[in-house]
Amino acid sequence: MRLPPGVEEAKVPIQSDTDIVTARQRGRMLATQLGFTSGDATIVATAISELARNIVLYAKGGEVLLTPVESRDNYGLVITARDEGEGIADVRQAMQDGYSTSGRLGVGLPGVKRLMDEFEIVSEAGKGTTVTVKKWKR
Amino acid sequence: MEVPILKQGPYLIATIQSALTDADLLQLRDSLVEQVGRYRSRGVIVDVTALDVMDSFASRTIRDIAQMIKLRGAETVIVGIDPDVAFAMVRLGLNLEGVATTLDLEEGLVLLNERARATKR
């Protein structure tokens, strides 16, 4: 399926809490343009908010890439949250519900995984973390 | 964007009108906690109908607001959680345990009035 006209990848630099809002609003707009339900557009915006907040909390800076994708008969949205922070020492531990090194609410990554259809995390100590998630239109 | 807070008799009504940054949420918390003392308010309503996303930070701050207002001797009701937002919150594993919620502003006022009557007895 060809992407609808005018639907393009967006890159949002993440430095502060205002960028979190910008990223999730861009994501909601793209999801809506791709025909996602309002419920799924909210899911996408919520996941982006959590991922972008992780960048602000743990890495001080990074970016969120919002990429519309197509399959034979459907559309999807890929969200790539990338930072060049410290990296996550123990990814398996970070994926456990309730785990948080910042002492804040530990819903972060496992919660985001539950919201999305596909989830991948790559982290290297000292080099940063990239979380890639995908949501298909229903 | 600052959240307007309206004084309505013994209550304060804060109506969120757009997406809020973390700093906006913290400012709302501080303003409510301060104004509840200044106006000697009995209750606080936070209308979140227009809030685009309730993520972990927003729900934690809402819980903090309710607890701090409680410590100041007043009640808090969160009103107007959108169905899509409620769904995303549940999937994310967030809750507002211990915080009173109602469908809308009207129901929120009813709840505060009932509680005020109950404490008078």
For A39-87, write each residue's pLDDT tens digit: 999 999 999 999 999 999 888 899 999 999 999 999 999 999 999 888 8
Which domains, and CATH codes, for chain A? 10-136 (3.30.565.10)
To the question of pTM greater than 0.90 for the whole model, the response is yes
A112 near B CB under 8 A: yes
Residue identified by tokens 């910042």 is A102
| Chain B residues with CB-CB distance to A24 below 8 A | 19, 52-53
Among residues B83, B62, B56, B109, the alpha carbon closest in space to that of A20 is found at B56
B15 bridge partner residues: B47
- Name the pairing type of β-strands B43-47 and B75-79: parallel
In this prediction, residue A100 has a pLDDT band, given cuts at 50, 70 and 90, of low
Residue B40 CB partners (closer than 8 Å, separation 6+): B10
Q: What is the CATH number of the domain that holds B11?
A: 3.30.750.24
Among residues B108, B106, B114, B26, the alpha carbon closest in space to that of B65 is found at B26
Q: Number of folded domains in chain B?
A: 1
Residues A17 and B20: beta-carbon distance below 8 Å: no
Q: What is the ipTM of this complex?
A: 0.92
In this prediction, residue A104 has a pLDDT band, given cuts at 50, 70 and 90, of very low
User: CB neighbours (10 Å) of residue A111?
Assistant: 22
Could you please report the per-residue DSSP string of B28-66?
Answer: HHHHHHHHHHHTT-SEEEEE-TT-S---HHHHHHHHHHH
pLDDT > 90? residue A126 = no
| Chain B residues with CB-CB distance to A42 below 8 A | 52-53, 82, 84-85, 87-88
Q: What is the mean pLDDT of residues B103-107?
A: 97
CA distances to A1, A29, A62, B115 from A84, in Å: 34, 27, 7, 51
Among residues A96, A132, A108, A42, the alpha carbon closest in space to that of B57 is found at A108
pLDDT > 80? residue A102 = no
User: Alpha-carbon distance A126 to B12, whole Å?
Assistant: 48
pLDDT > 70? residue A107 = no
User: CB neighbours (10 Å) of residue A93?
Assistant: 10
Query: For residue range B18-46, what is the model confidence (pLDDT) as tens digits?
Result: 999 999 999 999 999 999 999 999 999 99
Q: What is the mean pLDDT of residues A101-106?
A: 47
Cα angle: A8, vertex A16, B54; to 5 degrees: 75
Out of B21, B88, B92, closest to residue A21 by CB: B21
Residue-range definition of the domain harbouring residue B103: 5-120
Higher pLDDT, B1 or B65: B65
In this prediction, residue A105 carries a pLDDT of: 42
Q: What is the mean pLDDT of residues A111-130?
A: 92
Out of B23, B53, B93, closest to residue A24 by CB: B53
Query: For residue range B62-104, what is the model confidence (pLDDT) as tens digits?
Result: 999 999 999 999 999 999 999 999 999 999 989 899 999 999 9
Instruction: Tell me how close the Cα of B76 comes to any Cα of chain A, in angstroms.
Output: 22
Phi/psi for B59 (5° steps) reads: -70, -35
Instruction: Tell me how close the Cα of A18 comes to any Cα of chain B, in angstroms.
Output: 6
